[in-house]
Amino acid sequence: MRWPMRMLPQAKSRDCLQNINFKNLPSPGGRGERGGGKPESPPPEPSPIKGEGNYGLIMRKLGVFICHCGVNIAGTVDVKSVAEKVGKIEDVAHSTDYIYMCSEPGQQIIREAIREKGLDGIVVACCSPSMHENTFRKAVKSQGMNPYLCEIANIREQCSWVHQKEKEEATQKAEEIIKATLGKVRKNEMLEAIAVAINRRVLVVGGGIAGITASLDLAEGGYEVILLERETALGGHMAQLSRTFPDLDPAFGGLLSKALEVAQHPNIHLYCFSELEDVKGYVGNFELVIRNKATSVDKRKCTGCGQCILSCPVEFVSEFERGMGMRKAIDTLYASSVPNKPVIHRDHCQYFIDGTCHRCEEVCPEKAIDFRQEDERISEKVGAIVVATGYELYPKEQLGEYGYGEIPDVIDGLAFERMLSPNGPTKGKITRPSDGKVPKEMVFIQCVASRDPDRYMPYCSRICCMYTAKHAKIYKEQVPDGQPYIFYMDIRSDCKGYEEFLQKTVEEKGLLYLRGRVSRVFQDDGRVRVLGVDTLTGKMVEVAADMVVLATAIVPSNGVKDLAAKLRATVDRHGFLTEAHIKLYPVESSTKGIYLAGCGQSPKDISDTVSQASATASKIQALLSTDQLLQDPLIAFVDEGICSGCGICVEICPYEAREMDPHRGISIVHSALCQGCGACIASCPNNACELRNGSAGQVLRMVDTFIS
């Protein structure tokens, strides 16, 4: 007969008592066997006694260390009173408090107590475990204690911060939280980190400035990199820019030199016009399937001479030029692109539409045109993945009140960048798209679809204030007799040199800033009329403009949600990839081994993007610096005697860490994949699934502390 799951912990605890020699232990009166005189020999030193099964140790000496966290905890909780009361618990051999337990002096208090009192387990009552659990685990490990016999009692976020006006109740609750955590640590197992062999190659998804920077940093560190870009060339949106703020350096030259470094680096394998089709595995051992799309050009034969481009009779609107230029059915992404190999766009090529044109094939001196080329599936293995997927601008179709997409002289910031670029559709000249005339009245509208929670995006896109000032400055330099108007909500210039650049631009160029929202943009009598309000004067404003430039919101790139699902990473409600912790782990995703860089995580400028990409590369180099990876053992396990092999846990596991053993007919856990989320425990109908050091018995004992 099988014991019910909830009785197992008690039964195991009683069994363990049989292994204790009671003969030499002092009697309740503190004397010898008969209650008088001294015991024949001194009592043995307390030590942990290993229990049977998965129910760990019977603790004999516990320590409790309560942190004031300045006034975050001590301002609400009477920490000294709590330490005194907890110290009276039978198996608590040491209880103390300190102003900052996470500091070096605080950690030294813990180390000394473990060494001097022979503690078997400890509870640190402080902030959330996500903040300093690893800090305290390292401290106890240095004294020979198993780090998984250290538990955190969260009395800041879950107590003092939510009961700031109820000090007595908060003090009582803090005491109960600590007692509950003591109940858990008494049943903790002594665990060891799981060693996993790792592959020291890295996948970088996205070939913009973030992906380029991360790839070069990793490659220079001696790591092999696979760089994946879905466009036909490297560069991302930075390739579309004219100059960068605040120094107004040309953007393309610096980007081109970096892209050439990538293409020529022996440690970087470049896959352009490619997408990530499938991902399996876990940190240190990811298995990839890459779809390298057919270009209809043999890259090994092509020399990039451009004869095919010149001879192609088909033109269509260029997305790279933001609709202001044309491109051929066989073409490169931009002039001097890296790699500089043309691609046939089959949706526009006459050969693939009706088979009537072979012009490019006929003129190619290297016979590199291959109309029969097909997509190729490539399998690769890597140890870590960088997601640097970049951004897009808010869809113009959804900005009806601004006339964007309907009025030809209303364009977005990227289109204006192409206009200002020497290699752009107008060769750097500012002209109206409708008639090619130089605009004398220019309106720049900031925060279009940004900071507008009622209709559009609630967040700030961060770069709009600065690039609008850059645009207005360049416009004024090129059209000295022109007048730029800038509608804004607030000016945000929070990085090095930005405020100085902005102030200098306003003073020297005579820019007219109007604080307020624009309500409507419409065309009338050949002019673009902009209706708004100046909130500083309280007056309505109407400007008859020749041209309008919208600073539209930055949004995640298309397809990021699908990619995140493949990587088992998370995105926020706007579609940006989310970090594990915004302050402590800003470049790590919620899935181990997946790292973030650039605007795929949140809007940011080039300098912040490059900084984050280098930080990501540094993190990965640390991760892959050894031959094996140590992983947290707080994962799920299966009681094989209870498991019925129903397979529910296999279907529900979000990390694909479960699999059915075909020979034994039970579920097994892939320890390297399991993240300890607990979904299998909640779904198991037989209670056969448990978490290491988080068993149902432990959780129920913690609950009993609060309700008893």
Question: What pLDDT score does 354 carry?
Answer: 94
If we measure between CA atoms, which residue out of 117, 134, 141 comes closest to residue 190? Answer: 141
490: Cβ–Cβ under 8 A, 6 or more apart, which residues?
Answer: none
Q: Is the pLDDT of residue 23 over 60?
A: no
E-strand spans in 322-398?
326-328, 330-331, 343-344, 376-382, 384-387, 391-393
Nearest-angstrom CA–CA distance, 572 and 213: 25
Contact 557, 603 (CB under 8 A): no
Contact 591, 569 (CB under 8 A): yes
| Domain 396-555, CATH among 3.50.50.60, 3.40.630.30, 3.40.190.10, 3.20.20.70 | 3.50.50.60
Contact 629, 195 (CB under 8 A): yes
| Bridge partners, residue 288, by sequence | 279, 380
Question: What pLDDT score does 404 carry?
Answer: 84
Residue 83, SS3? helix
Strands 579-581 and 585-589: antiparallel
Among 332-336, 424-428, 505-509, 598-602, where is mean pLDDT lowest?
505-509
Q: How far is CA 573 from CA 391, 395, 567, 570, in A?
A: 15, 17, 17, 10
Q: Is the pLDDT of residue 339 over 60?
A: yes
Question: What pLDDT score does 510 carry?
Answer: 85
Stretch 473-499: mean pLDDT, rounded? 94
Question: What pLDDT score does 58 carry?
Answer: 55
Rounded (10°) CA dihedral 154, 156, 160, 161: -130
CATH 3.50.50.60 fits 201-293+377-390+559-623, yes or no: yes
Contact 44, 79 (CB under 8 A): no
Write out pLDDT tens, residues 268-326: 999 999 999 999 988 899 999 999 999 999 999 999 999 999 999 999 999 999 999 99
Sign of CA dihedral 377, 378, 382, 388: negative
If we measure between CA atoms, which residue out of 588, 583, 594, 633 comes closest to residue 615? Answer: 588
Question: What pLDDT score does 138 carry?
Answer: 95
Q: What CATH architecture applies to the domain 58-193? A: 3-Layer(aba) Sandwich (3.40)
Rounded (10°) CA dihedral 442, 247, 336, 425: 10
* 28, two tokens: 């309740």
Percent of the chain with pLDDT over 70: 92
Write out pLDDT tens, residues 96-122: 999 999 999 999 999 999 999 999 999
Write out pLDDT tens, residues 253-267: 999 999 999 999 999
How many of the other CB atoms lie within 10 Å of CB of 379?
A: 9
Phi, psi for residue 62 in degrees, rounded to 5: -115, 150
Report if pTM > 0.85. no
Would you place residue 396 in the very low, low, confident or very high pLDDT band (cuts 50, 70, 90)? Answer: confident
Which CATH number does 635-691 carry?
3.30.70.20
Query: Which has more confidence, 689 or 33?
Result: 689
Percent of the chain with pLDDT over 90: 82
Would you place residue 78 in the very low, low, confident or very high pLDDT band (cuts 50, 70, 90)? Answer: very high
Question: 472: part of which helix (H) or strand (E)?
Answer: helix 464-478
Residue 587, SS3? strand
Q: Is the pLDDT of residue 150 over 80?
A: yes
Q: Is the pLDDT of residue 520 over 70?
A: yes
Nearest-angstrom CA–CA distance, 339 and 333: 9
Residue 532, SS3? strand
Query: Which has more confidence, 242 or 17?
Result: 242
Nearest-angstrom CA–CA distance, 12 and 20: 14
* 258, two tokens: 């970096």
Question: What pLDDT score does 59 carry?
Answer: 54
Stretch 62-87: mean pLDDT, rounded? 96
Nearest-angstrom CA–CA distance, 468 and 548: 12
CATH 3.30.70.20 range(s) for the chain read 635-691
Question: What pLDDT score does 183 carry?
Answer: 93
Nearest-angstrom CA–CA distance, 477 and 420: 12
Write out pLDDT tens, residues 584-621: 899 999 888 999 999 999 999 999 999 999 999 999 99
Contact 603, 237 (CB under 8 A): no
Nearest-angstrom CA–CA distance, 413 and 393: 9
Residue 637, SS3? strand
Write out pLDDT tens, residues 187-197: 999 999 988 88
Would you place residue 151 in the very low, low, confident or very high pLDDT band (cuts 50, 70, 90)? Answer: very high
* 180, two tokens: 């509950």
Q: How far is CA 597 from CA 176, 385, 617, in A?
A: 42, 11, 9
Nearest-angstrom CA–CA distance, 542 and 688: 71
E-strand spans in 273-358?
274-282, 285-292, 315-317, 326-328, 330-331, 343-344
Q: Is the pLDDT of residue 30 over 80?
A: no
CATH 3.50.50.60 range(s) for the chain read 201-293+377-390+559-623, 396-555
Question: What pLDDT score does 708 carry?
Answer: 78
Across the chain, what does the average pLDDT equal? 89
Question: What pLDDT score does 483 carry?
Answer: 95
CATH 3.40.50 range(s) for the chain read 58-193
Question: What pLDDT score does 316 carry?
Answer: 96
